[in-house]
Amino acid sequence: MSEPQKSDLGTDITLIGEEHVRRYRETDGAVGYEWNGVPTLLLTTKGRKSGEPRTIAIIFRQVGDAQVLIASKGGSPTHPLWYLNIEADPEVEVQIKGERFAARARTAEGEERERLWAEAVAGWPNYDVYQSRTTRRIPVVVLERKG
């Protein structure tokens, strides 16, 4: 068995991208739900240019009935593509383990953003590192289940 690949922050990046999505789907999250000690979900957005479904695995924090996502892109100066997609169309599909549901995404602002950012950082402290790498204010996204 090979050694796990590590990022510059010591994160195991062996299971990432399309492979993470594939394994998560195949196993209803038995492989991929927990990633580096934190939970992940699958987020499917509609491509703002192509109109095609785009699915990513992403860390989330459960806060009340909502799931909170951080559009960090590792501290890149630009927003991640999934965030640009939800700005264009906030209707998304979510999978948490074997459960799939429709949700509406929105960007938290003001006091709510600050509170949710603190919640997210409590689960994944690297978000503060990512924020230190960029001048853009990293968006905090709330997913609200529909129906």
Q: What does the pLDDT profile of the chain (147 residues) look like in tens digits?
A: 444 554 444 445 566 789 999 999 999 999 999 988 899 999 999 999 999 999 999 999 999 999 999 999 999 999 999 999 999 999 999 999 999 999 999 999 999 999 999 999 999 999 999 999 999 999 999 999 997
CATH number of the domain at 82, please: 2.30.110.10
Secondary element (H or E) of residue 112: helix 110-123
- Looking at residue 64, its pLDDT comes to 94
Kindly state whether residue 95 falls inside one of the protein's structural domains.
yes
Kindly state whether residue 56 falls inside one of the protein's structural domains.
yes
- Looking at residue 2, its pLDDT comes to 45
Its domain, for residue 64, covers 17-145
Residue from 144, 145, 120, 143 nearest 131 by CA = 120
Kindly state whether residue 12 falls inside one of the protein's structural domains.
no
- Looking at residue 15, its pLDDT comes to 67
What's the pTM value of the predicted model, to 2 decimals? 0.89
Kindly state whether residue 9 falls inside one of the protein's structural domains.
no
Q: Distance (Å, rounded) from C-alpha 106 to C-alpha 36?
A: 26
Number of domains comprising the chain: 1
Q: Distance (Å, rounded) from C-alpha 22 to C-alpha 24?
A: 6
Kindly state whether residue 39 falls inside one of the protein's structural domains.
yes
